[in-house]
A and B are shown apart, each in its own frame.
Chain A
């Protein structure tokens, strides 16, 4: 591969942080840090759903 042509052309779109409790984490990031909620809750095959 020509390393001048970046393989991941659009960059890093999401980062992952392990958490103990997703609901608590969601509230922390939204209510404490002020992060906006992104998009509508979705679920689908392959990842056990997400919200």
Chain B
């Protein structure tokens, strides 16, 4: 029986830059940063509040993808159409101000929605996330 989602994957352009972004900008922690003999780098991060969830930062130019597929993914990242999901916050407006001041790019400022307050941000590869303060928090 499936019990839980323990890893999710994001494609990133540069693993070092992504590691810096998630640690220094978002305050995540590095869970694993290991290199295999063939050069493959297994890099995972996670929110400090979620020790059972790891986000794999997978390099698009790695050994698992051919060059055509990597190029397609790079194009999708550049277009900003790949969504990572919803990051939940207890104070969307404050986090928006803090993150923006810290250099995080937003495509939408905090807006009142029927489900709460939502801003839309991007990581430094182009993956976008909803930053949401749920109604009732």
Chain A interface residues toward B at CB < 8 A? 1, 3-16, 33-35, 42, 44-46
**Category for how many chain B residues contact A:** 35 or more
Residues in B with CB closer than 8 Å to A33 are 2
Chain B interface residues toward A at CB < 8 A? 1-2, 5, 8, 23-28, 47-50, 53, 55, 83-91, 95, 98-99, 101-102, 111, 113-115, 130-132, 134
Would you call the interface of chain A mostly helix, strand, loop, or mixed?
loop
Number of A-B contacts (CB under 8 A): 87
5 shortest A-B CB distances, which residue pairs? A10-B88, A14-B86, A6-B27, A13-B88, A44-B114
Expressed in whole angstroms, the Cα–Cα distance for A50 and B113 within the complex equals 14
| Nearest Cβ on chain A to B55's Cβ, whole angstroms | 7
Knowing A6-B28, A6-B48, A6-B49, the reply to whether A11 touches B87 (Cβ < 8 A) is: yes
